[in-house]
Amino acid sequence: MIVCIDIGGTSLKVAVENNDELLDKDTLPVREDFDSFVQEIVRWIKEKQKKYDIEGIAFSAPGAVDVKSGIIGGASAIPYIHGPNFKEVFKEKLNLPISIENDANCAALAEVYKGAAKEYNDVCFVVCGSGIGGAVIKDGLVHHGKHLHGGEFGYTVVCEDNGNMPILSEVASTQAMVRRVEKQLGGKWDGLKVFKEASNGNQVCQDSIEKFYHYLALGIYNIQYTYDPELIVIGGAISKREDLCDNVSRHLDIILEKVGIAKVKPQVVSCQYFGDANLIGALVNYRQEYK
């Protein structure tokens, strides 16, 4: 049995895996410093060791995760997790094998394992939320890249605006869609409100949503012609919308018609896993590392 831990900005999701089933799912608080963070996790695992035969620990974490060393680079909502060696720290505390992988990569592994991409080997995963993130899967494995930036699609540039070069995260995320509405109408908005008001005929909301689909389709088009995956999976809360892929497909048709020379249309689907994706993907990563 493997303990699976998903490190989020406001809480930790934890569970014990048994034959792909997640048991004793729980949520732990994010503590104020790294020592307290470690103590909270160790306490929970030791409680589970009284009940289960725990063989290892699988982490999903934000940031630029070095899966070999166990060190998380980059930045996230929990600054203190960046720098410490997770493999060394938890190995010393619990004497168990440790694996750790980036959360978007974990979500992608979950989809390839038993989700929307289970029949495919070469897949790109696009996470659309407050920004744009993602993952590249080659032959069923994560491609991390030289600088651990494999799948960081949000950094790509798809337009120029008055001499500025906004990146994909700044124009194609759901947060970007909301910001466009707030800029024109004022007040506090969220994605659900934007879509609701658009359905009621609000032209500003409708225009912002169309721009969202357009820029997201541009990003996906570029991914297709850079890596040529078999499938592109969209994740994030927006992926729960049943009309998402149809609208992205509509804008892909517009792009392909304008480009002309391009003949390969990206195959786009929404993700299957939501809340448990990172836990499942962390488990898949653990199994790949320890065979």
Q: What is the pLDDT of residues 236-252, one digit of tens each?
A: 889 999 999 999 999 99
The 10 Å CB-count burial string (b at 16+, else e) for 250-261 is ebbeebbeeeee
Compute the mean pLDDT over every residue in the chain, rounded to the nearest whole number: 95
pLDDT tens-digit map of 30-75: 999 999 999 999 999 999 999 999 999 999 999 999 999 999 998 8
Share of the chain above pLDDT 90, in %: 90
User: Environment class of residue 96 by beta-carbon count within 10 Å: exposed (0-12), middle (13-18) or buried (19+)?
Assistant: middle
The pLDDT tens digits for 16-36 are 999 889 999 999 999 999 999
* Residue 204, pLDDT score: 98
Q: What pLDDT score does 291 carry?
A: 81
The pTM score is 0.90
Is 275 a residue whose pLDDT tops 90? no
Which structure tokens are listed for 45?
């695992």
